């Protein structure tokens, strides 16, 4: 990977393709807020080769699970919050030589241990994993074979593959409706558009010299990815599969996540130690929030009130209040904390 997003089975497009279908989400009442907040935050501690379980209310890591290989970068949780799927990527960065991971750890959250390993059969460098609520399947980028591998979580078996048509297909975002996927192909600096129903690549969009993470707006109108050499965000029109505009950023953009009400795009500015909020109506940056060094991925709490930001070089996760636009809590995590997911509590 370069400087360095898994995400939950909740209605957050950067996290998974859920059933919100672009509708605005109202702030829930006190009881609903309490239920939404009592989940667990899961983190990939790359430097420790562990998956951490964080109690976000207590603001501390309450358990760590040792991975079966080296190392997990991204995560996704099951809808009931009881399982975590953690792809074993390998010991190198994207596009660099090294070992190629070939497995996905299946972790039981209640048992705090790996209960199963999905063997992909060969070194694939499985990396970014997403859950699609529409078909109930898992989609994981498998870089070595320029593809997305499809897994049925009911059986933990590989059930298909989708060619991306490009090397280094590192990150993946699914549309809220769950019919299309978009991969960020790092080295080529392109985005592949995938039809998840026919399992075919339908377009390749040139973006920049190098890109990284990617997300899709709540209304399925835009896809977003950042140039890794210039401070700008590509806004891709999902109807035409072309770049509609570039948005100037205060620094190099990295992880992005739209807020649940569809109003803003949160952008980790990795070289400025900030999170920027882009107003999706005006396409202007309207807030910047200082966070610890090297922000990576952004995950939203299911009630939409708090955004969690992994800050890899400081072993911290910053909790940002999305009403006050301030960091309300810093939570200690492991070394090189990176990908995250939210596990609901039933």
Q: How far apart are CA 255 and CA 309, in angstroms?
A: 9
Q: What is the pLDDT of residue 102?
A: 97
Q: Return the structure tokens found at 233.
A: 């965000």
Q: How far apart are CA 262 and CA 21, in angstroms?
A: 10
Q: What is the pLDDT of residue 21?
A: 28
Lowest-pLDDT choice from 15-19, 56-60, 293-297:
15-19
Summarize the confidence of residues 136-157 as an average pLDDT.
Answer: 98
**Structural domains of the chain, with CATH:** 16-343 (2.130.10.10)
Q: How far apart are CA 140 and CA 74, in angstroms?
A: 10
- Is residue 34 pLDDT above 80, yes or no? no
Q: How far apart are CA 337 and CA 342, in angstroms?
A: 15
24-28, 37-41, 160-164 — which one is most confidently predicted on average?
A: 160-164
Q: What is the pLDDT of residue 12?
A: 35
Using alpha carbons only, give the angle 346, 115, 57 rounded to the nearest 5 degrees: 35
pTM exceeds 0.85, yes or no: yes
Distances from the Cα of 176 to the Cαs of 28, 151, 309, in angstroms? 21, 19, 22
Q: What is the pLDDT of residue 38?
A: 79
Q: What is the DSSP letter of 34?
A: H
Q: How far apart are CA 10 and CA 58, in angstroms?
A: 21
Q: What is the pLDDT of residue 32?
A: 52
Q: Distance from CA of residue 186 to its chain's centroid?
A: 15
- Is residue 1 pLDDT above 60, yes or no? no
Q: Containing H/E element for 33?
A: helix 30-37
Summarize the confidence of residues 310-328 as an average pLDDT.
Answer: 97
Q: Return the structure tokens found at 286.
A: 């309207």
Residue in 12, 66, 20, 19 with CA at minimum distance from that of residue 39 = 12
Distances from the Cα of 107 to the Cαs of 52, 61, 84, in angstroms? 11, 16, 5
Q: How many CB atoms lie within 10 A of CB 3?
A: 14
Q: How confident is the model at residue 99 (pLDDT cuts 50, 70, 90)?
A: very high
How close are the terminal C-alpha atoms of the chain, in Å? Answer: 35
Residues facing residue 106 across a β-bridge = 85, 116
Compute the mean pLDDT over every residue in the chain, rounded to the nearest whole number. Answer: 91
- Asked if residue 94 lies in contact with residue 186, where contact means CB atoms within 8 angstroms, the answer is yes
**What is the per-residue pLDDT across 168-226, written as a single tens digit (0 to 9) for each?**
999 999 999 999 999 999 999 999 999 999 999 999 999 999 999 999 999 999 999 99
């Amino acid at each position: 990977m370069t400087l360095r997003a898994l995400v939950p089975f909740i209605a957050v497009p950067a996290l998974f393709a859920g059933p919100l279908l672009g509708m605005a989400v109202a702030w829930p009442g006190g009881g609903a807020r309490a239920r939404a907040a009592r989940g667990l935050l899961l983190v990939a501690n790359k430097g420790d080769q562990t998956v951490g379980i964080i109690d976000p209310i207590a603001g501390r890591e309450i358990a760590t699970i040792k991975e079966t290989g080296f190392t997990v970068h991204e995560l996704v949780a099951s809808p009931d919050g009881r399982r975590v799927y953690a792809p074993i990527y390998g010991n190198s960065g994207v596009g660099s030589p090294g070992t190629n991971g070939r497995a996905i750890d299946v972790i039981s959250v209640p048992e705090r241990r790996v209960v199963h390993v999905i063997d992909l059969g060969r070194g694939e460098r499985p990396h970014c994993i997403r859950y699609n609520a529409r078909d109930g399947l898992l989609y994981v980028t498998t870089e070595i074979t320029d593809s997305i591998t499809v897994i049925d979580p009911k059986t933990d078996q590989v059930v298909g593959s989708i060619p991306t048509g490009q090397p280094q297909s590192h990150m993946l975002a699914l549309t809220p409706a769950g019919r299309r996927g978009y991969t960020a192909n790092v080295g080529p600096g392109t985005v592949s558009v995938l039809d998840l129903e026919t399992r075919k690549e339908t377009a390749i969009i040139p973006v920049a010299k190098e890109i990284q993470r990617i997300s899709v707006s709540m209304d399925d109108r835009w896809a977003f990815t950042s140039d890794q050499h210039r401070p700008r965000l590509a806004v891709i029109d999902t109807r035409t599969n072309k770049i509609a505009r570039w948005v100037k950023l205060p620094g190099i953009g990295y992880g992005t996540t739209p807020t649940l009400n569809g109003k803003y795009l949160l952008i980790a500015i990795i070289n400025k130690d900030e999170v920027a909020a882009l107003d999706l109506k005006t396409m202007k940056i309207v807030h910047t929030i200082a966070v610890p060094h090297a922000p990576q991925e952004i995950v939203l709490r299911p009630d939409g009130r708090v955004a969690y930001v992994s800050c890899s070089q400081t072993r911290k996760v910053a909790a940002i209040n999305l009403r006050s636009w301030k960091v309300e809590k810093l939570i200690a995590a492991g070394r090189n904390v990176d990908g995250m997911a939210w596990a609901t509590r039933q």
